[in-house]
Amino acid sequence: MNEIETYMQQFPDNVQEILRNIRTLIKDNAPEAEESFAYGMPAYKTHKKPLVYFAAFKNHIGFYATPSGHDEFQAELSTYKQGKGSVQFPLDQPMPYQLMERIVKFRVSENNARSTSKM
């Protein structure tokens, strides 16, 4: 069992399911992403650049798509509590998986473009 699986298992079953769903949607939409554990949470990179991070808390899922991912989807994220480069999805509301998927796709294309422009 790796660090991410160990991390996810410490939460109640319903939260584990949400974390597994987020992990799957990241892997499905960023199959080339490197999965690691950073800042105490699952972390993903493409082209050695941060893609997204996520973490579970008592009352919410924290989703971190660096400032650019949050800036791009500012209107859709405006109904959620936010910090610099983070958004909180309450556990007592439906998870916005489609929005997370769109953010991941945006970040993948952004990292791909940055990587290509440096060549």
Which pTM was predicted? 0.93
- Which domains occur in the chain, in start order? 3-109 (3.90.1150.200)
Does the pLDDT value for residue 118 go beyond 70? no
Q: What is the mean pLDDT of residues 31-53?
A: 95
From CA 68, how far away is CA 107, in angstroms rounded?
A: 8
Alpha-carbon distance of 48 to 69, in angstroms, equals 17
| Length of the chain, in residues | 119
Burial of 37 (0-12, 13-18, 19+ CB in 10 A): middle
**Using CA atoms, how far apart are residues 45 and 108, in angstroms rounded to an integer?**
9
- pLDDT at residue 119, as a whole number: 52
By three-state DSSP, how is residue 65 classified? coil
Q: Which tens digit of pLDDT belongs to each residue from 53-102? A: 999 999 999 999 987 888 999 999 999 999 888 999 999 999 999 999 99
